[in-house]
Amino acid sequence: MRVGIGHDTHRLGQGGPLRLGGLEIPHDRHLVGHSDADVLLHAVTDALLGAAALGDIGELFPDTDPANRGRDSADMLARAYAAVNDAGYELVNLDCIVFAQRPKLSPHKGALAERIAQILGISPGAVSVKAKTGESVGEVGREEVMMAQCVALLAPRTSA
């Protein structure tokens, strides 16, 4: 078994919608970054790559490459998971946390888990998404940034 942890932080800019977990969520702010800045998918990608000792998202998709400008994070996640599979591993489960003061993400947690599972071709039951506010403290609480963390558990692939 292999365990990996992923983390990502992006600034919030004025105007929505919010791109999170491969979905567009109605909100008056959006995440700012070189790609589509999807903090949740970036954290999942790094957790998977870390568990398989395959580097990180910045190595596979550097922000110095113009091809990655505005890139869909779902594509990056799918490519990273293909590399994980090629290395001989399959995903057992993901446990993710999104840190955001607003919007309230509880109504979206199921859809976020389903979308991540769809991107990876796994059961939604293998994906947990939790949401925490910043309790009006710090960069998250002041709505300056949104952060995500994810832990991934991999096992040696059992099928060829």
Say what the pTM is.
Answer: 0.95
Domain count, the chain: 1
What confidence category does residue 46 fall into, taking pLDDT thresholds of 50, 70 and 90? very high
CATH number (domain holding residue 127): 3.30.1330.50
pLDDT in tens, 81-118: 999 999 999 999 999 999 999 999 999 999 999 999 99
Residue 76 CA to chain centroid, in angstroms?
10
For residues 20-37, give the mean pLDDT.
94
Read off the tokens for 40: 């949740």
**Enclosing domain of residue 48:** 2-156
105 CB-near residues (< 8 Å, 6+ apart): 20, 25, 98, 112, 131
pLDDT in tens, 124-160: 999 999 999 999 999 999 999 999 999 999 999 986 5
